[in-house]
Structures are given as structure tokens and as C-alpha cells.
Copies of this chain bind each other. A is one copy, B any other.
Amino acid sequence: MRLHADPTPNSRGQQSDHTSLKDASYRLERQQHWLVSKIRGLDFPAYQSVTCDLCPKSILRSGPSSLSFRSHTCGELRSDDAGKKVTLCGWVQYLRQDLFVILRDFSGLTQILIPQESPSTLKATLCNLTPESVIKVTGTVRNRPVGQENKMPTGEIEVLAENVEVFNVCQKLPFEIKDFVKKSESLRMQYRYLDLRSSQMQKNLRLRSQLVMKMREYLCNVHGFVDVETPTLFKRTPGGAKEFVVPSREPGLFYSLPQSPQQFKQLLMVAGVDRYFQIARCYRDEGSKPDRQPEFTQVDIEMSFVDQAGIMSLVEGLLQYSWPAERGPLKAPFQTLTYEEAMRDYGVDKPDTRFNMKLIDLSQIFLSTEIEFLQSALGQPGGSVRAVCVPSGAVRTEPFPVAENAENVEQKMCFCATREAWFESAVKQRSTELIQTLPSSDSLFCSQCPLLGHLRLQCAKLLESHGVVVRDPSAFHFLWVVDFPLFLPKEDDPEELESAHHPFTAPVPEDTRLLYTDPHKVRGQHYDLVLNGCEIGGGSIRIHKASEQFYVLKNVLKEDPGLLSHLLEALDSGAPPHGGIALGDRAPSIRDVIAFPKSFRGHDLMSRAPDLVSEEDLKCYHISVKMPTEQGREGK
């Protein structure tokens, strides 16, 4: 295995004085390898399996078996390969009747035939293998006897073993790897390296890798984006309650782990980088909120000299380009709704547009109602009474559990159903006339918008649990939501405004003048990308004028502009118009596409992180732990 002589014949002579025969043969092999790669040139076609005339070993190929002990993966042999001598490496999936070893790697399974008349050691070695042991087998591919083929991709062949090397004997396992074994979530996380051996997780990790690669190709090679890394040890954002702190060795000074590279990407535009992207690691300390990953990645994009339509087209092209071929082509442009339309029709700013059940405006019907909360709803500026109509709602005979997540539901919600079903008292008076306009089997719920948005999804789920087809699970409905309000009233002080997204979003051009008169009416050049009801991305055109940014910070948001002085200075030094987007999946299912997720509570169950650190080790950071006391538990 050692390589210690100078292998280039014409270089300046550090010829090893103890070159062994083995070394020399290795050297030669590597030289041959390089000759071949030179012949093939530098443009290796992806995954092409080139066999080298000089040296028939697998080490000379590109593709998934290049440079490896194996000649083929466990998933690729077909009846065309019959007669070939091959070497496979992998994990013992199981043994069958002392006749077969089923060998597995990331690509699939191959049946190894144990020769019965073989030298006793070979047979004994193979028959004694424990499941999940790791071996190398050399043998000859042959077609299975007629009638013994099966449906596996390699089901037509088997490999007659001639030689075996056992790399690693597997001891007892906490669970079996077979896909069908159900494991507890915490056990899966603790032994993640076993869980990842399942064919589904292998597929997921590879799909994610390929998707990201295609995205990079599109951004870098098609549109000239520059992949720039930005720091993750950064300054703490004032009031950045969701930022982890990292103590430095200077007393009292802390870095923080940023929630996104927002400031850096804008500064890169000011720096003239023109087109930036990064698959960026982001951090968010959501404390006790369950099932949020404390670190995640996003596809982070920023562009100069572009408008909203440009970014939206870029992202549509990005998704089309990187969309897995087996899922069929993706249609673009995507549907676009304004925030107003989304709220009106779906009661939510990220509607699931795979099914209809849009909200219906019943304000006219209730104009002269005496029901107090409906009166009050209608009395508010822009107030309305709406309803969601559930087709086939009567499939369920008990009441829908509409109140599940609603506070003070009596006040906000009333529902009614068909002639055949039950009525709720509050709207009984009016319901008869309503119901006459509906198909007899539908249910109707009336309420205010945000609650109805939630209710619409809940009804869909309930109908599906009763076997009604509401959504196509294989459909991918991408949707843009635009024209968000730039500011929203603060929850704890509705007289004050806060940014709907972040303070750097530019107003819609025709609303800019309203910034100085009616800021609550200003729409922002913000766009959200929604997939099947999940927000998978969001971005905006940014403010690129220091004076406007200063006004927004100081006069609208009442924040101290001094805390962002470096950004304001930058905007005063020649800032181009710019905008961008960040794409990322924050759904709970993210566990299934990342290799080492944290548990619901943010723990790494495998290594047991976070963990105790000694006072001694904390000394250099000038911090000490303050354990909460029994009474007056602090810090929660």
C-alpha cells in the first residue's frame, strides 16, 4: 500500500532507496491509470464505464465503481454480463439455505451462489456470515436456472463465488435493516448510521445531492452566478432572540450564528459581485418549539439589475432544470396570486391549490344579522363573513372537530350542514336559505378568514381519512404569492408597525409615495413560493437607497438605524438595484432528506449533543453556567 518513490521518471531524482517490488507495481499501476485518464482527456462523460486496455482493473474507470476494490456495484449486473468475472463489495443482507448470500450496497442487491463443491474454507466462510457483515466477493456472473429468476433488477443473474474476503463481522444489531421493520423514531436517530442503510434513505440522500448539483449547474453554468461563502460567525442582530451566541476569548464579546446571509448577500451586490448564490447553512434557535432543526440549509440567491419578474423567472427555470426527470416536466410560469386574493379565496397566504373548496363570501346574506360576532366582523373596515363549502361533507356524520386549534371558538365560528345532518344554533335562522343553494350532501362552515383557511385544510384531511379523493398526492402545485403588505401592526401594540418580512424589502414602485403618508397601505415587492400549501421560498427586491432604508428603519419601524450603520453606509457608496430569494424546505419531513437530523428537542441522539462542558473549559470564554434555582426559574 506504500508509495514512496518519485514516480515521474524525469524529475530530479529523490529515488527511494528501498523500493520494494510491491511498491514498484503500485507505482506502475498508478502511472498506467494516469496514462489512461490522459488518453480519455479531461472531459470524462458522466458515469461512463471505460475499461482500460493497459490495466483491466476497476481502478481505471469513471463511474460509481472507479478507484474501488469492486468491479461493479450490487445493482448493475444483468444477463448481458453472464460469463464476466466480477468483484462485488457490500453488506450481507441475508443468507438463504446455506446456498445463497444476498449482497447489498447502495445500488441494490445481488444473489451470490455459494459453491457447494468448493474448498471447504470458502463455503464455511460464506455460510458463517452474520447479516450486515461486510465482504468482498469475486466470482463469475451466470444466468439463473430457468424458473429461478425474480423481479429484482438483478433477478436474472447470480454470481458464483470463487473468492471471499471478510472486511468486517457485524455483531448484534439494535434492529434489522430490512425496509419493512418499523423502528421507533428515537432508536432510528440513535443508530442513524444503520437507519441510513435503508434503500429509501439511500435514495433520498442521492436525490437531494443530485438536485442540489443540478441547481448549481443552472445557476453557475447557465446564468453566471458566483458561489460565494459568507461567514457564519457574525455580529448579533439586536433583539435577535433566535440567534445562537458563540462566546469568544475576549471577555464579554460574542459572535452569533446568523439566521440567513441576508446582510452579506446585499453587501455582495454593493460589492459588484452581480450574481451571488450559496447553499447556505443557517441557524435558528427556536428554543422550545418542537421539530425545528436548529441548523438547516437554504439555496440563497441574490442578483443585481433585476426586477421581481426576473427573479421569479430565474426560480421557475431553476426548478424546471433541476426537477427529477422521472417526475415528468414542470410547467411554468407558475400560478400567481396576490396576498389579497390568497386570503380572500383560501384564508391563508400559502394556499394548497391542489384542491378547490375556496372560501365563499356570505357578507350580503348576513348584512342585517343579529348574531353579535358576525355583526362585529362586518362592522370592521373590510370585514366580511365567509364560508368554506365542503363537497361531500356529509360523508362524515359526526360534527367536524372544527374547534381543535381555534381559541374562543364559540365567538368566531359557526357551522351548519345539510338537511340530512345537524345544525348549530347560532346560524340556524339563516341556514335554511343558505343550504338550499348547496348540493344536498355538502357541509358549510362560516367564519373569519384565517380560521377558515385552517378549517379548509382540516376538512380536506378529514374527507381523505374517509376515503374521499380531495388532493392528488403525486401532484406538485407551485404557486407564487405576491403583493404582500410591507408592514403589519405589531401584535402587542397594533398602533405600531413591524416589517411583514424584513426591513430591507422595497415597496411596490407605485406605492413608494405611501411610505411617507400611509405606510400601512404599502405593498412590498416580496414574493413567496408555495408548494402544495407549504412555503418553500421567499424573497424580495431590496431597498437600494440609503435614505429610503433610513426612513423605513427610523420613522416607520422606530428602530435605531445606528445598529445597521454598515449597511446604510454601503447603500450610500453605489448600490445597484437588487433582489433575491431563499429556497428551503422547513417541513418536518426534512428529517428524511438530511443525514444527521436533530431530534424534536434539538438533540443529537447518536453522540448525545448538546453535552456538559467543564467549568475549566469555559474559563477561556469568560462565562460560567448559572443553573436555574427551584424558585424563580430563570431564563425560561
Contacts and interface: CB of A to CB of B under 8 A. Distances in A.
A255 B609 contact: yes
B610 A635 contact: no
Instruction: Find the residue from A27, A66, A202, A208 having the highest chain B CB count within 10 A.
Output: A66
A264 interface: yes
Interface in A37-87: 37, 42, 44, 46-47, 59, 62-64, 66-70
Nearest to A267: B193
B320 A248 contact: no
A636 B620 CA distance: 6
A254 interface: yes
Nearest to A20: B510
Contacts of A274: 64, 105-106
Given A173-B573, A314-B67, A619-B635, A230 B607 contact: no
A105 B337 contact: no
Nearest to A595: B228
A34 B223 CA distance: 15
A313 interface: yes
Nearest to A67: B310
Contacts of A59: 309-310, 313
A313 B91 contact: no
Contact of A30 (B191, B312, B604, B627): B312
A193 B230 CA distance: 13
A521 interface: no
B246 A257 contact: yes
B8 A335 contact: yes
Contacts of A424: none
A4 interface: yes
B234 A609 contact: yes
Interface in A94-151: 104-106, 132-134, 136
Instruction: Find the residue from A47, A229, A622, A625 having the highest chain B CB count within 10 A.
Output: A229
Contacts of A221: 44, 46-47, 213
Contacts of A336: 3-7
Given A230-B596, A610-B248, A575 B168 contact: yes
Copies per complex? 2
Interface stretch (A10-18, A363-371, A393-401, A530-538): A10-18
A212 interface: yes
Contact of A264 (B31, B332, B596): B596
Interface stretch (A299-307, A450-458, A490-498): A299-307
Contact of A68 (B14, B47, B173, B303): B303
Contacts of A624: 623-624, 626
> Range of interface residues on chain A?
35 or more
Contact of A316 (B34, B312, B622): B34
Contacts of A628: 251, 622
A8 B607 contact: no
A377 interface: no
A438 interface: no
A559 interface: no
A108 B208 CA distance: 37
Contacts of A482: 2-4
A306 B68 contact: yes
A594 to B, nearest CB: 6
A37 B46 CA distance: 24
A573 B89 contact: no
B26 A285 contact: no
A251 B627 contact: yes
Give the 5 A-B CB pairs with smallest separation, nearest first.
A64-B224, A235-B609, A196-B271, A4-B338, A132-B574
20 contacts: A1-B309, A4-B482, A63-B223, A64-B275, A68-B304, A69-B577, A134-B576, A168-B544, A205-B228, A210-B220, A212-B227, A229-B595, A233-B244, A234-B604, A244-B246, A251-B626, A253-B610, A271-B595, A287-B620, A619-B635
